[in-house]
């Protein structure tokens, strides 16, 4: 008797859940959600393709481009955004030698927090290659106070934290800051950008606290002589942030090719063994 009651209770539960699911599906079909300004803009302006050499299954970093991107980060982005998961010594992987890394670390604007051994008072010291990039702000309270109540995100893993991360960075900083279209305001009157924010057609809700970081060509003077257009600087900083998020990308792609090669050889050997073992039993 108890089994029958349990079965009936289970069937009733399944029926109620199925009915709710069916009602939800019917509601979505018959009464879809009204379009929003964000969906309208993002459908009209999909992310641009950065075309980075690191993209794709066989992609590899262009170290010169990554170095240029580091230069853009250092001169433009580092005033607000940290790289908490990257150490100065990691810069060797993009082509800097030990002396250059030491010089970069020692000259970095933000120093490492420390304690005066004589007085016990808080102090700072010069960065060393073993240190991680120091935080720009001591905490979120200080960050909000300096940025109109907005906290600049850490950029170490930004290209992993956003869908199509390299393309997102490239589109956002290089081509996203445009005048808000009048037709958008005519269609969505409530979509006007609030005071203190900036319209960006690639940002999630179209209104971003960060002012345009790349404002004009020549903002950064590249050491290798590359022409520093806004588009080029946006591509280069996207390449650098792709590297910070996945510095072992080249090795991972190389390992993937080796595994594929092994699997192909293994399949060929397995097929040959099959043909040899079963050749006398085939009719």
Count of the separate structural domains present in the chain = 1
Name, in order, each residue with C-beta under 8 angstroms of 31's C-beta and a sequence gap of 6 or more.
Answer: none
Percent of the chain with pLDDT over 70: 93
**Is residue 260 domain-resident?**
no
Residue-range definition of the domain harbouring residue 237? 38-86+132-247
Per the domain annotation, does 197 fall within a domain?
yes
Residue 32's pLDDT is 60
Assess contact for 83 and 244: CB atoms under 8 A. yes
Which CATH number do you get for residue 60? 1.10.760.10
Mean pLDDT by 10 residues, the chain (283 residues): 73 76 65 76 94 89 97 96 96 96 95 80 90 94 91 96 95 96 90 93 95 95 94 98 93 84 89 80 58
Dihedrals φ, ψ of 227, to 5°? -70, 120
Does residue 256 fall inside a structural domain? no
pTM, full prediction: 0.83
Nearest one of 193, 175, 224, 187 to 66, comparing CA atoms: 224
Classify residue 3: in a domain, yes or no: no
Structural domain includes residue 237: yes
Domain for residue 234, yes or no? Answer: yes
Q: How many CB atoms lie within 10 A of CB 277?
A: 9
Give residue 206's pLDDT: 95
* Domain membership flag for residue 48: yes
Quick one: residue 220, left, alpha or beta (phi over 0 = left, psi -120 to 50 = alpha)?
A: beta
Tell me whether residue 258 is in a domain: no
């Amino acid at each position: 008797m108890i089994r029958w009651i349990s079965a009936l209770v289970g069937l009733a539960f399944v029926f109620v859940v199925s009915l709710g699911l069916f009602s939800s599906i019917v509601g979505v079909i018959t009464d879809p959600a009204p379009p929003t300004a964000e969906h309208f803009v993002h459908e009209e302006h999909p992310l641009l393709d950065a075309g980075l050499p690191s993209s794709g299954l066989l992609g590899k970093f262009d170290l010169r481009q990554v170095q240029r991107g580091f230069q853009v980060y250092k001169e433009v982005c580092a005033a607000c955004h940290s790289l908490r998961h990257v150490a100065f010594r990691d810069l060797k992987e993009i082509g800097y030698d030990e002396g250059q890394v030491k010089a970069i670390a020692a000259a970095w604007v933000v120093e490492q927090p420390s304690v005066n051994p004589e007085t016990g008072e808080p102090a700072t010291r010069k960065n060393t290659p073993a240190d991680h990039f120091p935080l720009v702000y001591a905490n979120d309270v200080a960050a909000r106070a300096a940025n109109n109540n907005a906290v600049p995100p850490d950029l170490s893993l930004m290209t992993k934290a956003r869908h199509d991360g390299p393309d997102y960075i490239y589109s956002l900083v290089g081509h996203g800051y445009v005048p808000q279209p009048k037709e958008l305001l005519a269609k969505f009157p409530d979509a006007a950008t609030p005071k203190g924010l900036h319209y960006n057609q690639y940002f999630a809700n179209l209104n971003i606290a960060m002012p345009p970081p790349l404002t004009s060509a020549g903002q950064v003077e590249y050491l290798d002589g590359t022409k520093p257009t806004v588009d080029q600087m946006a591509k280069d900083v996207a390449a650098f942030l792709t590297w910070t998020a996945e510095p072992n990308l080249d090795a991972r792609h190389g390992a993937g090719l080796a595994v594929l090669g092994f699997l192909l050889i293994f399949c060929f050997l397995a097929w040959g063994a099959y043909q040899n073992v079963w050749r006398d039993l085939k009719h």
